[in-house]
Amino acid sequence: MTVFTNGHHRLLVSRSEPARSLSCSVRTRLLETAAANWHILLAIGTTIATATYLRMRSRARARDSAIAATIVEDVLEALHTEAESHAGDPIRHPVPGLSVVQVRDHFLEVAGRGAGSGNDGGGGGGGFESSQFGSEYVRTQDAQLRTRWRVPDDAARDRIWAVVAARVLRNSSVRETVMELRGEPHQVWQWIGGHALSPRKKR
């Protein structure tokens, strides 16, 4: 202990460590360690955050790809069916294809926008049911037993539809063109493959 005095006052200064509780000592030591190794801790935190983000993105891509695969099959079948209908009765089916936007809206619905909200909106498939992708990605069937999906928002629909469109247009039996439907120009997908190349599935 050191003693300082000025004739009127005396100051006692202890040279020993102050008495601390165990929790206070542990907290102090942790803060000192963190301050000394902040760059290492930052690198670890960044690595964990990046790995978590990449894992989530990978799962999202796998989910979008799986949903898109079910839609592509049904879109190709719908295009082939419409081409046959047009060939058989061009009066009732004047367009030899389907509007791309209408196809998208039929197979991919944004939550809260569909007819009936809780139902399929297509008059033949019952309500939407949860899928293996959780409650935000639900599905039902239309009157032709084709799978329709309801997704949480526009961003999800745009991501999935981009995959669908790319896969559909890679099929050489499909042609994209612009046609007038009820006075408005529409991008249209047409089935131009032969009957033997029918994508129709056995149900």
> How confident is the model at residue 34, as a pLDDT?
74
pTM as predicted:
0.68
> How confident is the model at residue 181, as a pLDDT?
82
> How confident is the model at residue 119, as a pLDDT?
42
Written as six digits, the tokens of 30 are: 């942790």
Question: What are the C-alpha distances in Å from 87 to residues 12, 84, 95, 192, 200?
Answer: 106, 5, 10, 12, 17
> How confident is the model at residue 19, as a pLDDT?
62
Burial class (CB in 10 A: 0-12, 13-18, 19+), 105: middle
> How confident is the model at residue 122, as a pLDDT?
40
Q: Which residues of the chain have pLDDT under 70?
A: 1-20, 113-126, 130, 196, 200-203
